[in-house]
Structure 1
Amino acid sequence: MPRSEKRSEPRNADTLVRWLRSRRARQLACAVGGLFLAGIAWIAVTGMLARNELLAAQRTLDGLRQQMAAGSAATSAASVTGTPGAAVDVAARHAARAHRLTTGPAWYSAAHLPVIGGPLRTVRGAADAADRLTRDVLAPLAHTATELTAVTGQDDGSLNLSALRRAAPALERASRSASDVRTQVAGLPRSSWLPSLERARTQLIAQLDRIVPATVDAAAAARVMPSMLGEQGPRRYMVVFENTAEARGTGGLPGAFAILTADRGRLSFERFGNDTELAKARATVDLGTEYAALYGRNAPTSVWVNSNLSPHFPYAARIWTAVWREYKGQKVDGAFALDPSALAALLAAAGPARLPDGTAITAANVLDMTERTSYAAFPKTEERKEFFLDVARATADVLLGAADDPKRRPALFTALRGQLQEGRVKVWSAHPSEQSELRPRPFGGTLPDSSDPFAGLVVNNAAGTKLDYYLDRRLDWVPGRCTAAGREITVTVRLTNTAPGSGLPTYVTQRVDAPPYRTRPGDNRLLVSYYATEGAQLDKATLDGRPALLNHAVERGHPVYTVDLELPAGATRNFVLHLLEPHSERPPSLLRQSLVRPLQATVRPYVPCGD
């Protein structure tokens, strides 16, 4: 064989090997590419299916929530199946399918890829969160609510306290699960190249921010409600109706009152009375040196209408219960407070009440009738106070009737929870173990004794008028630069008296403060207090641009700066404080005093120290 042919054989063999290797590489590349495309297709298809399942779960829960809010348990049952619990079960099945669709090797691998991995991790995390939320949180809440609002087998319509106590462990687990889910969702990627996904994450966090406190409250309720509602024996409570047309620290002037009894879940009222009856009653209670220095050693405990000058509701509750014991020789187990705005929300769920003369008291008119038009309709004090008692009796009958009615009970409880969360219904227990559960809740009405950032605007009517019905309040909290001593904070309080200059009844506009200066009908006078963060120091304060004369005190560790100001009809006053507060990056918690018109508050974001 020629030498040249022998030399060509290896070259031909090498070419063949390279060709075979190239072919296998192409096949492998095609196979990998095919798998990648299949994975992308699988993720796209299952992602769309998961989205549809999540939307179905959301629609089910939205329908349930709307129908529950509308007030009919029977109607809510019609949305999917028989009960709210069954509706949540349907939503849970949709969420579970969404979770299953976003698991598996394709989703796991793709979620760890650069660029596209972030959005996919968010999708997987959201589906998992929805699954856990419906299964471990909403389901036990809904089933407990169904059991509690169902007929108990008794003719008196009392609440099923044994069922509530049995549900306590499940509700406690639901509360922990809700907090865990909130933490899980917060850890998902914050940003991606899909704005719609970022919005969905933000909305989910907002929903969880509402759900988590609700589960905490539900678990606490299961722990304390059985005993508070008389599971082990009758309980007695003082219920005070606050008139927010004349501001006091906890909301409004304590006017009419009632004594409520609770016996094995059955509620009833023993009697009703008004502030005149307790005008000369005194309370023997020691609220500490700070309280005495700020409010005077005797005035709040010896003058019923000034018993709630402090925004710290437990102080008022202790005074009220002590007054009743001194006056009647009867011990009570706690106190509740509510105002006409709260009554309006409860009547919206329970239905209208009727006065003895046939007048309808509804959600739409109860606030206006009790805090505005009644002063013109009943110029005599005795007639007006009797009207207030008639309103209290009539609305109490309707509310107790709704609580006894399994069909109206869910809507009433939903409305009550909303008012508790807003702090328009406040609760205090004389039993320490129960009060420890109530204290940190919004309805506890407590002034926190912590060093966390805090901002509280509190007004007390100093004129004896009923003009706070027309009061607008605005608070702007603006953090400034950092210094070695702390962070600069500017607080601007804007108060506007929108009362008309004429046409109001004399009782509404008359002054009992006898000021040394001339006033007109509709002019008001307020003690305006700002509660700052513990450790804050005042640099300067102005009232309408001029240096303000302030009273400085401390309550529960919070510096309190108070200005006495005249607020003429139609006028606006601006109260500005420049403070130096301890370093923090946390936004302040706000004290929202419950008056007729809600506080308008703005909290500006921090500028990081060093910028």
Structure 2
Amino acid sequence: MGTNDKSVSHEEDSPVTGPARRRRRYVLAGTGILALAVVGWFGYSAWDVQHNLTGARNNAQLAKNSLLSGDTEGARNAAAEAADQAENAQVSLHSAPWRQLAGIPGVGAPFGSIQKMSDVVVGLTRDVLAPAVETGTALSPGDLISDGGKVKLQPLRDAAPALKQTSLAARALADQAHQVPDAGYLGLVDDARSELQNQTDDVAKLLKNTAIGADILPAMLGADGPRNYFMAFQTNAEARGTGGLVGGYGIIRANDGEAHVDTLGKNTEVSYEHQPLNLGSDFNGLYGSYNPSTDIRNSNLSTHFPYAGQIWQSLWEQESGERVDGAIATDPVALSYVLGAVGPITMPDGEVVDAGNVVELTESTAYIRYAGTSDTEIVANNVARKTYLQTIAAKVVEKMTGNIESPALLLDAVGKAVNERRIAVWSAHPEEQAILAGTPLGHTVPEDDAPYASVVVNNNAGNKLDYYLSREIDYTASTCTGDTRTSEVTVRLTNNLPAGDYPRYVAGTYNNRQVPPGTNVAMISLLATRGAKLNKATVNGKPAFTVSGNELGHPVFSIPTTVPRGETVELHYALTEPAAPGAARVPVQPLVDDPKVSVNVTACGG
């Protein structure tokens, strides 16, 4: 065919198909432009949402930090900015296009999650941060604590009702954050969800603790008249249920927000010739043979701190004629946290005690420094050592109740000690104790049916080897398929005493047991879930002798145990327990080590 051959068909020349094809092209082009516009809008909208949510979260954190540092104006500005950003994000996320996208099965999961997260952030800024800022002084340690360590009680008391409501709102929002669904295929959204959950949990915990403090601290610190408290200094180099042996004590006197310690004493100065306190048949069955209510050295064998508080109150009243309003206990590890916040102390001989050396000094070095070989030397040096330890404790308390450069750091240190159960408080006033019992300060055994495994070490040798003890605790239970389920609690104890010669007071046994020096001799008790039955107990795989009892409705299974120097001993409890609702709890006895604790217990319904 030639170049002029017209036999080839060209659709664009067709009078019918040409315009139709052009219209289709215009439609497709228009649709593409619209699609690009929609994608562009979603892209910009997503960026704007992310920008606002991130800004709201950061400003919320800034508002919290500003409050705690005493910058009320900065907190107010940050809270207002957070509220604006959160509301902007919420408006975008609840627009019609976002709602439609979130509703698409599978595809919409992350968008639905982001919507719900924005609702939480709006609630956090509107219902929590804004009212919290208005409390001002109550949340600002710098404003709350004046020079000299006096606590301003009236502002704290005035803020109590508002703090209670704000605390409830914060807890509700934290729960709401934990109900935000998975984002599906977008891991970044799940990461943001986890950050939001952690942030709301932190805020809820802070406000709960502050609300509790505002509720009970004014009265406990003498707003309505003087208060007196027995303060026990526990040495957890010799383990007891609440932490360690009471080596010394003091009486704290509080009035109108000021507190000081006086009447320092040693445990040897408390007479054993007092009338016993009746704490019930279960308590007597477990601990009665140790004379816990008349021998202060055994007064805190139970991990339930209110028992120790009542015993100390009874002993001090019989000793002095004064009835204290409550009891407080602490230990050298808690003192190290406090010294990290307030700075070192200087002893009368010039020795500097600080956060880095106070634990070793009080739990190890002092026992070697004040040793002795003859009975006479041992007695004299024992008195000198207790005086040394008392002086350290008194100087730390004196410093933390004096001029404080950073009240916020001190409160952080105290909070860390409380969370590790290294500070315990009991009040003789029932309305205050009812509140304390539900906090980490209460150090109580819970009277409910939820899964529970509390492992308690009580030194049975009168030595100081628990300074070298390390623990591993594992609590595992089968699934909830019936009224009961099997469970196992495994405890590994390692005696890390280094090689060398040690004074009898450190590594020997008070009753000359036939064990090599350096052997840790202890009674290991498991407080199990209410209604639990022990099927079998073993030590290093061999059947173990077990002593049974009850504590506040919990069965107690105790195994006398020896742990040779440098060795690990494994105790295993095989149980059948009720498939009770509630999260499993494994409280950690506050000794020197930081134990490894693992929990694999499914929460049953109910």
Native 8 Å contact 2:153 2:256 kept in 1? yes
What is the distance in 1 between the residues matched to 2:445 and 2:35? 59
Instruction: Give the match's secondary structure for 1:206.
Output: helix
Question: 104, 116, 127: which is aligned to 1:125?
Answer: 116
Matching residue of 2:46: 47
Matching residue of 1:408: 406
Residue 502 of structure 1 pairs with residue 500 of structure 2: yes
Shift of 1:98: 3.6
Instruction: Give the match's secondary structure for 1:538.
Output: strand
Distance 1:436 1:492, change over 3 A: same
Residue 582 of structure 1 pairs with residue 578 of structure 2: yes
Shift of 1:436: 0.5
Distance 1:30 1:341, change over 3 A: same
Shift of 1:271: 2.5
Matching residue of 1:112: 103
Q: Normalising by structure 1, what TM-score?
A: 0.87
Residue 173 of structure 1 pairs with residue 171 of structure 2: no
Residue 478 of structure 1 pairs with residue 479 of structure 2: no
Instruction: Give the match's secondary structure for 2:292.
Output: helix
What is the distance in 2 between the residues matched to 1:86 and 1:236? 42
Shift of 1:490: 1.6
Distance 1:187 1:60, change over 3 A: closer
Moved more, 90-99 or 192-201: 90-99
Instruction: Give the match's secondary structure for 2:586.
Output: strand
Shift of 1:553: 0.7
Shift of 1:89: 5.0
Distance 1:46 1:320, change over 3 A: same
What is the distance in 2 between the residues matched to 1:281 and 1:42? 84
Matching residue of 1:5: none
Native 8 Å contact 1:283 1:302 kept in 2? yes
Counterpart code for 2:451: P
Matching residue of 1:7: none
Matching residue of 1:529: 525
Counterpart code for 2:124: L
What is the distance in 1 between the residues matched to 2:145 and 2:437? 34
What is the distance in 2 between the residues matched to 1:218 and 1:151? 14
Matching residue of 1:423: 421
Distance 1:51 1:158, change over 3 A: same
Residue 594 of structure 1 pairs with residue 595 of structure 2: no
Distance 1:220 1:548, change over 3 A: same
Matching residue of 1:386: 387
Native 8 Å contact 2:57 2:121 kept in 1? no
Residue 164 of structure 1 pairs with residue 156 of structure 2: yes
Shift of 1:143: 5.4
Counterpart code for 1:344: S
Matching residue of 2:543: 547
Deviations 1:76-109, CA, capped at 9 Å, x for gaps = x6xxx96556555554554444444434333333
What is the distance in 2 between the residues matched to 1:220 and 1:328? 32
Native 8 Å contact 2:234 2:330 kept in 1? yes
Moved more, 354-363 or 526-535: 354-363
Distance 1:43 1:185, change over 3 A: farther
What is the distance in 2 between the residues matched to 1:283 and 1:547? 40
Shift of 1:219: 1.7
Instruction: Give the match's secondary structure for 1:590.
Output: coil
Distance 1:94 1:399, change over 3 A: farther
Counterpart code for 2:335: L
Moved more, 194-203 or 462-471: 194-203
Shift of 1:549: 0.7
What is the distance in 2 between the residues matched to 1:48 and 1:131? 18
What is the distance in 1 between the residues matched to 2:96 and 2:29? 20
Matching residue of 1:188: 180
Distance 1:557 1:94, change over 3 A: same
Native 8 Å contact 1:502 1:521 kept in 2? no
Instruction: Give the match's secondary structure for 1:261.
Output: strand
Q: Counterparts in 2 of 1:80-479, with a 5 A limit?
A: 87-88=78-79, 90-141=81-132, 144=135, 146-147=137-138, 148-151=140-143, 157-280=149-272, 282=274, 284-296=276-288, 299-379=291-371, 380-402=381-403, 405=404, 407-479=405-477
What is the distance in 2 between the residues matched to 1:280 and 1:502? 35
What is the distance in 2 between the residues matched to 1:68 and 1:292? 49
Native 8 Å contact 1:585 1:606 kept in 2? no
Deviations 1:308-362, CA, capped at 9 Å, x for gaps = 0000000001101111111010111111111111111111111111111222111
Counterpart code for 2:343: G
Matching residue of 1:573: 569
Q: What is the total number of aligned residue pairs between the two structures? A: 578
Shift of 1:593: 0.3
Shift of 1:263: 1.1
Q: Over aligned residue pairs, what C-alpha RMSD do you find?
A: 3.1
Counterpart code for 1:421: N
Moved more, 528-537 or 258-267: 258-267
Distance 1:94 1:272, change over 3 A: farther
Where do 5+ consecutive residues of structure 2 fail to align?
Answer: 1-15, 372-380
Counterpart code for 2:314: A
Distance 1:35 1:440, change over 3 A: farther
Distance 1:608 1:170, change over 3 A: closer
What is the distance in 1 between the residues matched to 2:260 and 2:469? 35
Matching residue of 2:4: none
What is the distance in 1 between the residues matched to 2:419 and 2:535? 35
What is the distance in 1 between the residues matched to 2:511 and 2:136? 51
What is the distance in 1 between the residues matched to 2:338 and 2:132? 22
Identity %: 35
Moved more, 32-41 or 155-164: 32-41
Matching residue of 2:375: none
Instruction: Give the match's secondary structure for 2:597.
Output: strand
Deviations 1:279-305, CA, capped at 9 Å, x for gaps = 436354321111011111671001101
Where do 5+ consecutive residues of structure 1 fail to align?
Answer: 1-15
Native 8 Å contact 2:149 2:401 kept in 1? no
Native 8 Å contact 1:229 1:235 kept in 2? yes
Distance 1:328 1:39, change over 3 A: farther
Deviations 1:487-524, CA, capped at 9 Å, x for gaps = 11121111111112423333211211332x3x222111
